[in-house]
Amino acid sequence: MLITGIVLFIFMLSSLLMMSNALQNSEHFGEYYSGLLIFNTLGLVVLVGLILANLRNLIRQLKNKVPGARMTFRTVIMFAFLSVTPVLIVYYFSLDFLHRGIDSWFDVKVEKALDDSLELSRLSLEEREQDILKKTKQIANDFSQISNVAVPFEIDDYRTRLGARELTLMTRQGRFIASSTGDISDLVPNRPNNAILFQVQQGNNYIGLDTIQNGELSIRAVVNVPNMGVESKHRIIQVLFPITGRINELANNIQSAYIKYNELSFLRDQLKFGFVVILTLVVLFSIFSAVWAAFYSAQKLAAPIRNLAEGTKSVAEGDYSKQLPVPGNDELGFLVASFNEMTRRIANARDAVRKSQLEAEAQRAYLEAVIGRLSSGGLVLDQDNRLRTVNISTGQILGTDLNRRLGDRLEDILADYRYLEPLIKTIASYQDSNEGEWREQVTLFGTSGRQILMCSGTSLSLSGLEDSLVHVIVFDDITALIQGQRDAAWSEMARRLAHEIKNPLTPIQLAAERLRHKYLDTLKVAQPETMDRLTNTIIHQVETMKDMVNTFSEYARPPVISRQMVDLNELIREVVDLFINLDPGASITLNLSPDLPRINADLDRLRRVFNNLLKNAFDASTSEKAVALVIETHHIDERGRDFIEVRIKDSGTGLSGDIISNVFEPYVTSKKKGSGLGLAIVKKIIEEHGGVVWLENNPDGIGACAVIRLPVTEADSSTNIGNVMQKDVI
């Protein structure tokens, strides 16, 4: 478009110059004048076409509200106004000057003077012509006396005397007879044309101005030679007189000036019209070029602004990759370059933020994975005591899914999970005291029994966050660990005790029997009785001690379990029957679940468990009231853990708070009788089966309840029991 415009501009400008030149001097480009006129007209049409096309584009852009269109429009209007107005003013005055100027060329006086000078030239030449005609006639008369044969000898002399350039004698038909010339370059004599010959043939003489000889004026006289002399044929003579020197020059000047002036005068209106046409073409060309240039400039000017608008829109829509072409080194170019730099920096910053976000997310995911796989429970609380983070192990340790309570305050959680009270209170106390790091052992009494948790906590200040202070609490269930340590200690002690005690018992018993046997009969009356009673006491007490030692040994013995599929309901009924027989007045209520699955367990050991527990319950209930027991079995499937729960409720006095936590340890008992190992053995056997057992006071305040939970395992998965147990403990 630009190149087309520039080429057209150059061509039109050149052709206008050529036209102007042709108008002033037809020798230059005169023959192309019409073509140039047509070309310029067509060029103007093309320019108008270009302008209209631009205008249509601009109107379309205005309608579509393209950025920069209004600015382009205003600039075009301004440019057009600024360029058209002075051009039109100049055009108006130029037209006026043109008319006046051309009219002033032609003056009546000048015209008259030229006419007069031409007339003067003519008169002057005519006078000379008459003189020459007269002389020529005389020579013609002379020639009438000279024969054609003699003429060549005379003719030079006549010409010289006459002062003519050329003297020729010829027939009336124009055939040369003799000729004399003063110019040796003229090889052939000049022949009058047919019209002159015709005139002479009619008997008339000819005298005239000849303009055809080398640009010089000459006077041609053609006269009939009188036909009364020696030659009978009609002859004529022609004389050419040169008009030489100053007269020739002046006459030529006058003639050419006259011709030029006459031509210009004749063409005055056409000349004006021609100039007006050129001036109009120039004006239109200037206006159209200016308007077209205005369009082009305005578009060039608006282009970076349009780009900027589009770029800003892109940035607003979040596309920071937009880079605009820099238009140049001016202020606009600087602005666009700054815009590019800005978007580049924003894009870099965004990429950096995104990268660090991804890194943070990856770090977070990594940490979550690590924390999730930790065997320790972990909680994070914010300043308002709200739960922010809980890991998987927390749910497993506390037996509840706290993930559902994220965002709840600890107090609200406590309302729903009362058994978490020791833990929550401990945490709250440290939060209130604002201690940095803390570590404390907490004991919970949950549905799964007593739990000892080793808690440690700390306050962390996270920079950059509003609620920056958070509390992190990590805890481990060390119940099994402590229990294991205690059990191991007890087992060791029992084993050593049994070993140490058992050895002297047999000699004591043998010694007592021997003493009795040897000295019973030798004693006097009444003494043997005493002897018998004392030795019996020794022997019985030794027996009792042996039993006790055996019990100890059994407690310390490593578990050798003989598993089989056991129906717990049946086992319970069997044991209950035994006790009913022992105490027919007792009331034992059985609420046994009919769909209880069989479990893989050691029948004898479980029987012992129930024996011990029932015995315990009977012992606890031996007061004024009759024994009233309730035995329940349930099949519970809780959070994917499938187990059987057996509850044995007695109607005794219940357990005091300090005993209830240690009742399963050896030698912890509220009874006056007993080894204190019954419940310890129960616990040991239950744990060997991967279960848990605990005692709790009944909610109605009457008696206590022994709760056993045994996992339901497949018959062939006995080898995995250890693992399962461990998993449950953790």
Out of 131, 210, 216, 583, name the contact with other proteins by CB under 8 A.
210
Task: Give burial (CB, 10 Å; 0-12/13-18/19+) of 108.
Answer: exposed
Tokens representing 659?
Answer: 């005993």
Q: Kindly state whether residue 46 participates in binding other proteins, applying the rule CB under 8 A.
A: no
Out of 4, 7, 11, 31, name the contact with other proteins by CB under 8 A.
31
Rank residues 121 and 343 by Cβ distance to other proteins and give the closer one. 121
Collect all residues with Cβ–Cβ distance below 8 Å to 467 and sequence separation of at least 6: 382, 383, 384
Q: Kindly state whether residue 407 participates in binding other proteins, applying the rule CB under 8 A.
A: no
Rank residues 275 and 417 by Cβ distance to other proteins and give the closer one. 275
Whether the CB-CB separation of 182 and 240 falls below 8 Å is answered with: no
Stretch that binds other proteins, among 251-259, 370-378, 629-637, 680-688 (CB under 8 A): 251-259
Site string for other proteins, 655-694 (x = CB under 8 A): ----------------------------------------
Whether the CB-CB separation of 555 and 681 falls below 8 Å is answered with: yes
> 3-state SS string over 661-701?
CCCCCCCCCCCCCCCCCHHHHHHHHHHHCCCEEEEEECCCC
Out of 9, 33, 73, 419, name the contact with other proteins by CB under 8 A.
33
Rank residues 208 and 229 by Cβ distance to other proteins and give the closer one. 208
Taking the complex as a whole, the smallest distance from the CB of residue 52 to other proteins amounts, in Å, to 22
Taking the complex as a whole, the smallest distance from the CB of residue 257 to other proteins amounts, in Å, to 10
Site string for other proteins, 265-284 (x = CB under 8 A): xxx--xx-xx--x-------
What span, in angstroms and rounded, lies between the C-alpha atoms of 314 and 643?
64
> 3-state SS string over 189-202?
CCCCCHHHHHHHHC
Taking the complex as a whole, the smallest distance from the CB of residue 8 to other proteins amounts, in Å, to 19
Whether the CB-CB separation of 155 and 180 falls below 8 Å is answered with: yes
Taking the complex as a whole, the smallest distance from the CB of residue 73 to other proteins amounts, in Å, to 37
Tokens representing 241?
Answer: 């007189």
Out of 254, 337, 561, 592, name the contact with other proteins by CB under 8 A.
254
Q: Please name every residue paired with 695 in a beta bridge, in sequence order, or none if there are none.
A: 706
If you count DSSP H runs as helices and E runs as strands, how many of each does the chain have, helices first?
A: 19, 17
Rank residues 277 and 303 by Cβ distance to other proteins and give the closer one. 277
Residue type (1 letter), 629: L
Tokens representing 682?
Answer: 């129960």
Taking the complex as a whole, the smallest distance from the CB of residue 47 to other proteins amounts, in Å, to 19
Taking the complex as a whole, the smallest distance from the CB of residue 169 to other proteins amounts, in Å, to 22
Rank residues 195 and 560 by Cβ distance to other proteins and give the closer one. 195
Torsion sign over Cα 717, 718, 723, 726 = positive
| Alpha-helical runs (H) found in 144-227 | 151-162, 194-201
Out of 4, 34, 403, 536, name the contact with other proteins by CB under 8 A.
34
Rank residues 257 and 347 by Cβ distance to other proteins and give the closer one. 257
Taking the complex as a whole, the smallest distance from the CB of residue 340 to other proteins amounts, in Å, to 54
Count of chain residues binding other proteins (CB under 8 A): 41
Collect all residues with Cβ–Cβ distance below 8 Å to 76 and sequence separation of at least 6: 58, 291, 294, 295, 298
Whether the CB-CB separation of 133 and 221 falls below 8 Å is answered with: yes
What span, in angstroms and rounded, lies between the C-alpha atoms of 680 and 664?
5
What span, in angstroms and rounded, lies between the C-alpha atoms of 191 and 100?
50
Rank residues 14 and 468 by Cβ distance to other proteins and give the closer one. 14
Tokens representing 178?
Answer: 């003799």
Taking the complex as a whole, the smallest distance from the CB of residue 153 to other proteins amounts, in Å, to 32
Rank residues 118 and 472 by Cβ distance to other proteins and give the closer one. 118
Number of Cβ within 10 Å of residue 104's Cβ equals 9
Q: Kindly state whether residue 19 participates in binding other proteins, applying the rule CB under 8 A.
A: yes
Taking the complex as a whole, the smallest distance from the CB of residue 90 to other proteins amounts, in Å, to 23
- For tokens 């580049």, the residue is 344
Q: Kindly state whether residue 262 participates in binding other proteins, applying the rule CB under 8 A.
A: yes
Out of 145, 255, 340, 491, name the contact with other proteins by CB under 8 A.
255
Stretch that binds other proteins, among 254-262, 363-371, 485-493, 652-660 (CB under 8 A): 254-262
Rank residues 248 and 661 by Cβ distance to other proteins and give the closer one. 248
Q: Kindly state whether residue 22 participates in binding other proteins, applying the rule CB under 8 A.
A: yes
| Alpha-helical runs (H) found in 166-214 | 194-201
Stretch that binds other proteins, among 85-93, 261-269, 415-423, 578-586 (CB under 8 A): 261-269
Taking the complex as a whole, the smallest distance from the CB of residue 61 to other proteins amounts, in Å, to 36
Out of 5, 9, 32, 449, name the contact with other proteins by CB under 8 A.
32
Rank residues 273 and 519 by Cβ distance to other proteins and give the closer one. 273
CA 558 distance to own-chain centroid: 70
Taking the complex as a whole, the smallest distance from the CB of residue 189 to other proteins amounts, in Å, to 16
Contacts (CB under 8 A) with other proteins, residues 96-155: 118, 121-122, 125
Out of 263, 319, 384, 529, name the contact with other proteins by CB under 8 A.
263
Out of 8, 12, 23, 721, name the contact with other proteins by CB under 8 A.
23
Out of 1, 6, 10, 30, name the contact with other proteins by CB under 8 A.
30
Rank residues 19 and 51 by Cβ distance to other proteins and give the closer one. 19
DSSP string, 29-78: TGGGHHHHHHHHHHHHHHHHHHHHHHHHHHHHHHHTT-TTHHHHHHHHHH
Taking the complex as a whole, the smallest distance from the CB of residue 13 to other proteins amounts, in Å, to 18
Contacts (CB under 8 A) with other proteins, residues 170-209: 193, 195, 208-209
Q: Kindly state whether residue 251 participates in binding other proteins, applying the rule CB under 8 A.
A: yes
What span, in angstroms and rounded, lies between the C-alpha atoms of 143 and 168?
11
CA 421 distance to own-chain centroid: 53
Stretch that binds other proteins, among 175-183, 255-263, 500-508, 672-680 (CB under 8 A): 255-263
Q: Kindly state whether residue 85 participates in binding other proteins, applying the rule CB under 8 A.
A: no
Q: What are phi and psi of 438, to 5 degrees?
A: -140, 160
Rank residues 29 and 295 by Cβ distance to other proteins and give the closer one. 29
Q: Which of 395, 377, 399, 413 is nearest to 692 (CA)?
A: 399
Q: Which of 439, 445, 391, 384 is nearest to 411 (CA)?
A: 384
Q: Which of 244, 44, 46, 47 is nearest to 128 (CA)?
A: 244
Out of 60, 74, 112, 260, name the contact with other proteins by CB under 8 A.
260
**Residue 706, phi-psi category: left (phi > 0), alpha (psi -120 to 50), beta (remainder):** beta
Taking the complex as a whole, the smallest distance from the CB of residue 204 to other proteins amounts, in Å, to 12
Whether the CB-CB separation of 609 and 668 falls below 8 Å is answered with: no
**Which residues contact other proteins (rule: CB under 8 A)?**
19, 22-23, 26, 30-35, 37-38, 118, 121-122, 125, 193, 195, 208-212, 217, 251, 254-255, 258-263, 265-267, 270-271, 273-274, 277
